[in-house]
Amino acid sequence: METILNTQFDQLQKAIEGIKEAKSKGQSTDEARIATTLMFVALKHANREVKHKIKAGRDKLHLEKCKVDLSRLQLQNLLYEVSHLKKEIVRCQKFKSRDTSLELLSDAEYSSELPDMAKDEEELSSHKQHLHRLDCELRLRKALDKQYSALLSSKQELLQDNLSHAQRYVSFAPALRTLQSATKPLHDALQLSLDVEWKLSAVVKYLPKPLYVFFIVLQSLQRVSDEQSFTAEVVGYESEAQMQELLKEKKCSTLNYRQESGERDKIAEKTNLDEALAPHPLHICLTIGAAGSNQLVLQIRYFDLIKCATVWGQLNCSGNSNGQADANFVHHLLRHLYPNDLGNELPIPGIQYELRSSDLTAEECVRYLKAKDYGKPFCWLQSMCSIATVNSSMLYNHELNLNKNTKEIINRIARRLNSWQRLSQQIRGLTFKDIDLYSLKENIYPAGLSCSLVQWTAITHEELHSQISDALNTSTADKGITYNSYRAVIVRGSAKMECFIRIPSNYPLEMPLWILNVHWNGCLTAQNNSAIKMMEFWTNSLQPKQLEPNHCVLYAQLFRTIYSFDIFLETEGSMQNTIEYNKEKPYISAFAKRSRSRPYKYIKKGSVYAFKQ
Amino acid sequence: MKQKDLKRAYNNVLAQAISDSNQYLFAGNLFGDIFVLRIKELDKGSEEPPGKLKIFPQGSDVDINYLTFHRDFLIVGAVGLIYGLKWNEEEESLATKRSWEVKIPIQVDAVEVPDVNSMWLDSENSILFAGCGDGVIYQVSLEDGRIQREYRGHTDYVHSVVGNAKGQIFSGAEDGTVRVWSTKQQQHTSMLEPYKNPNLLRPDWGKWIGAVAVNEDWLLCGGGPKASIFHLRSLESTCVFNFPGRVHLCDFVDDCVLIGGEHNHVQSYTLNGVLQANIPVEHTACYSAVWQTSPIKFISIAGFSNKLHILKDFRFLDSKIDMYGNVEGEENDLEEEDELIEKPLTVEAA
């Protein structure tokens, strides 16, 4: 372009110079002038072209600039992103989840709690598994939270309920008072001195609530019944009870201070179980049995900490009868009063959680109560005190019909006491041989007695268990039953019978078990001789309902055994070459059935009696 | 001791029977309970526990002395009475109502109701022979329940009655004799007195015969005297078995002789008297053994204990099946508390 312009300028200059020369020469210039003017047109064209090109260049430049700007922007973005990601990485590195501090359920618990969820997770990776677990945990916790709030609201409702009830009772009080004052003339007229009696037992109001309820029920029962089968009294001093109440208040006020002083106290508290588990200073002493005979004395104490009552029994012997041997039957009696109520655990619902706050366990408390001779917290005892209980098989019980229940329990204790006393009297009679078997049997068996009881001694449990016997092994699940064992020896001529007697601690629910060994031409037992086994069955099959009212269990069993032994010897002897025992008992046939059973059963019809199979 | 434990400790099973379908085993005891076992339970693998038994109480006053099975009836020999109970195979249940009853006549001079100690069933002619406590064998027609005739001769009660296809009846009794009867003759045709044989007599144990068994050629019996085989024609003792206890049970099983009784083992001998198997049992005494070879081969031995002893190959003990404590629906019934109530103790003035 430049060259074009230059050539055009050169041409133009040449043309102008030509004109100038022509002018100076005075030649006509018109022709030259026209050619020159035409040259301007070309110049103008070139000029336009130049301008055009400049514009195009500028446009191109702008386009490139735009591109550069865009890529620069991208670069900036990327750089920013990089820095952001770097920051993120650092954050991730620093990240620590709170779940590590969470206490998760153990694997076993988890799979038992949510069995279907546990199954799903097996194919997941460990991290996902963990997440899954956390998820479940969250769900579980939410459910628990819901439960908690529901319980809370129900508690709130109950409190509200209580309050309204209390208010109602309070509103009763003035009406009652006016009623009382209104009936006073009537009382005077009828010579009823209700006030006096109530005033006498002022100490009663210091009893802890459960014992108070119990005592009032006892009092009412005592008033209703004509015969004095039991008496109840409150033992302890009013002043002590007052003192304790004061102390308790003081403790409450110092509680805040104590919390600050922290751990030190806790240790001190634990060592001082005595203080924590001190019974209420007042306790109830319940005496069952008529005055003059052997009485059962029950000491019933209440413990604030464990929220339940315990009972300790003791036999109060009257007269000169030797009561030492019988001491432990009181223990058996209370333990087996109701099945599955052995008093080995605290029956108060939720007590273990409450005890945890004072660093104690329920077992520890029961052990302590036992060591201190405070007795045991039986469920039946709580039911008399109107305390709600949960027994070992997790059954909740809250007795509301206190009157009937208490009466029933006391009657039951009295009945069992009677049975045990009769039993121990029988055992004493047998041990010291101060019973006359001949006169005793009179009203049972008219037939003569040929055997004699020569010995009755207490033996250890091991000695009893050295006997191999099906009967010993068939006993169903042991329900905390313990046994006392005795050995009796019965002799007739050259034959001797050893009887091993096992008396269960839940007597009279279960009868004493007899195991028989005959020593005569070798040792015959229920294991090797069917006649002995039948004899053992006949003795053991004696059921309470078969006894006549004035019969004693052990004596009745003993007579069955002795007569069976006689019959065994007489029937077996009839086959021997040298006859030692002759038939003395009235039986029809010595053997019957394919089992050749002996006539052990005693049948009496009017005045006719016989032994039969 | 509780009633339940008492029954477990002193369960005395005198009778067993197998149903005609060979699928069920019945066992009756002196407490009046009949247990029913599905025989196919015995064939199950050892991993799974065998199914429980069914129990059909007949009342505590019924002694079940003998059981036998005819068509679809379980025939029970009790005291003074034989009765039939219908067995419903589909429902596996025994009728509670007795379908029929045959009373054993009480003899003029008798003081006791006679036990039905043993029964032999002639299933072809539907005739039942019952050996009873009065020493008489009664022939009862199962068609109409009539007592067709009485076989008299034993002087004490009958322990065991068996018969064979030739119409001969054999009975062993407490009087020590084994008598052979014919349906066509009034008197017994022949009589054996094993206790008179010094080889057999065990003086301290008496002369009674506790069990009798027969096959085509031989008669097997034992009791107080030792168990022994007699030839049916000559009635000569050909072989003596040295079973150490009193014999209450003997039978021909396959080609062997099974002997049991008041001993802690049941023994199996060859016909020549060689001891083949000595099977320990828990029974104080064994009273009953029943066996079959198909569809499931087994022998069941019962006696004075709470267990049935099962032998599948007739030689070794396979299993022991509890009766009480192993019964369907037993867990549910709670035992009522039966407390002794006594009169108050009176204290003598010291």
- Between A314 and B340, the more confident residue is A314
How large is the average pLDDT for residues B124-139? Answer: 93
What's the order of all strands across the beta sheet hosting B209-214? B209-214, B218-223, B227-231, B237-241
By C-alpha distance, which of A446, A448, A447, A443 is closest to A548? Answer: A443
In B, which residues are within 8 Å of A476 by CB distance? 2, 4-5
pLDDT higher than threshold 60 for residue B9: yes
Chain A residue numbers with beta carbons less than 8 Å from the beta carbon of B9 are 470-471, 474, 537, 540
Both tokens assigned to A518: 């005959």
Triad A491, A495, A501: Cα angle to 5°: 55
The alpha-carbon gap from B175 to the nearest alpha carbon of chain A, in Å, equals 11
Strands (E), B133-236: 137-141, 147-151, 158-163, 168-173, 178-182, 190-192, 209-214, 218-223, 227-231
Closest CA to B39 of B20, B55, B24, B57: B24
What dihedral do alpha carbons A173, A179, A181, A183 form, nearest 10°? -150
pLDDT at A102 (0 to 100): 72
Mean predicted confidence (pLDDT) in A221-229: 76
Name, in order, each residue with C-beta under 8 angstroms of A72's C-beta and a sequence gap of 6 or more: none
Query: What is the number of CB-based contacts under 8 A between chain A and chain B?
Result: 137
* Chain B residues in contact with A547 (beta carbon < 8 A): 340
Query: Tens of pLDDT along A243-273?
Result: 877 777 776 666 555 444 444 444 454 456 7
Amino acid identity at A115: P
What's the gap in Å between the CA of B203 and the closest CA on chain A?
7
Token pair of A374, please?
């405070």
Q: Flag whether pLDDT at A604 surpasses 80.
A: no
pLDDT for A119 equals: 58
Dist CA B66 CA A130 (whole Å): 69
pLDDT confidence of residue A80 = 97
Does the predicted model carry a pTM greater than 0.90?
A: no
What angle (nearest 5°) sits at the alpha carbon of residue A448, between those of residues A445 and A453?
A: 90
Smallest CA–CA distance from A477 into chain B, residue: B5
Position B187 scores a pLDDT of: 87
Q: Is the pLDDT of residue A183 over 60?
A: yes
Name the residue with higher pLDDT: B13 or A28: B13
Q: What is the pLDDT of residue B148?
A: 92
Whether B133 contacts chain A with CB within 8 A: yes
399-428 in chain A: CB under 8 A from chain B: 415, 418-419, 421-422, 425
Looking at residue B2, its pLDDT comes to 75
pLDDT in tens, B144-200: 989 999 999 999 999 999 998 888 999 999 999 999 999 888 888 999 999 999 999
Is residue A303 predicted with pLDDT exceeding 70?
Answer: yes
> What would the pLDDT profile of B198-235 be if each residue is shown by its tens digit?
999 998 888 999 999 998 889 999 999 999 999 998 88
Per-residue pLDDT tens digits for A44-63: 888 899 999 999 999 999 99
Whether the CB of A292 is below 8 Å from some CB of chain B: the reply is: yes
When comparing pLDDT for A603 and A409, which is higher? A409
Q: Which of A110-119, A137-146, A398-407, A549-558 has the highest mean pLDDT?
A: A137-146
What average pLDDT score do residues A383-406 get? 84
Q: What is the mean pLDDT of chain A?
A: 82
Q: Is the pLDDT of residue A534 over 80?
A: yes
ipTM above 0.90, yes or no: yes
- A421-466, pLDDT tens digit by residue? 888 888 888 888 877 666 666 556 666 777 888 889 988 888 888 8
- Say whether B108 sits in a helix, a strand or coil: coil
CA distance A581 to A451: 11
**pLDDT level of residue A91 (50, 70, 90 thresholds):** very high
Give B63's contacts in chain A (Cβ within 8 Å): 593
Of B315, B260, B160, B284, residue with least CA distance to A524: B284
Q: In B, which residues are within 8 Å of A340 by CB distance?
A: none
A289, with CB counted inside 10 A (0-12, 13-18, 19+), is buried
Min Cα distance A509 → chain B (Å) is 5
Which residues 137-176 on chain B approach chain A with CB closer than 8 angstroms? Answer: 157, 159-160, 174
Sheet architecture: strand order including B66-70 = B66-70, B73-77, B81-88, B93-103
Higher per-residue pLDDT: B62 or A191: B62
- Assess A522–B contact: CB distance below 8 Å, yes or no: no
**B223 close to A (CB below 8 A):** no
Amino acid identity for residue A601 in this structure: K
User: Three-state SS for A354?
Assistant: helix
Residues in chain B within 8 Å Cβ distance of A553: 340
Instruction: Specify the residue for token string 């308790």.
Output: A248
Q: Which residues pair with B74 in a beta bridge?
A: B69, B85
Cβ–Cβ < 8 Å for A80, A88: no
| Substitution target from A510, A516, A595, A598 for chain B, most B beta carbons within 10 A | A595
| Model confidence band, residue B45 (pLDDT cutoffs 50, 70, 90) | low
Which residue of B63, B116, B249, B339 to mutate against A (max A Cβ within 10 Å)? B339
Share of chain A above pLDDT 70, in %: 85
Q: What is the pLDDT of residue A196?
A: 55
Task: Map out the domains of chain B as residue ranges.
Answer: 3-322
Q: What is the mean pLDDT of the segment spanning B250-261?
A: 92
The fraction of chain A above a pLDDT of 90, given in percent, is: 17
- Interface mutation target, options A530, A538, A608, chain B, most CBs of B under 10 Å: A530
SS3 content of chain A, % helix, strand, coil (to 5): 60, 15, 30
Cross-chain Cβ contact A544/B340 below 8 Å: yes
pLDDT at A218 over 90: no
Cβ <8 Å between B342 and A418 = yes
Given a cut of 70, is residue A320 above it in pLDDT? no
How confident is the model at residue A587, as a pLDDT? 85
pLDDT over 70 at A467, yes or no: yes
**Which chain B residue's Cα is nearest to A535?**
B10
Of A476, A534, A576, the CB nearest to B5: A476
On whether the B3-322 domain is CATH 1.20.1250.20, my answer is: no
Q: Residue B300: in which H helix or E strand, if any?
A: strand B298-303
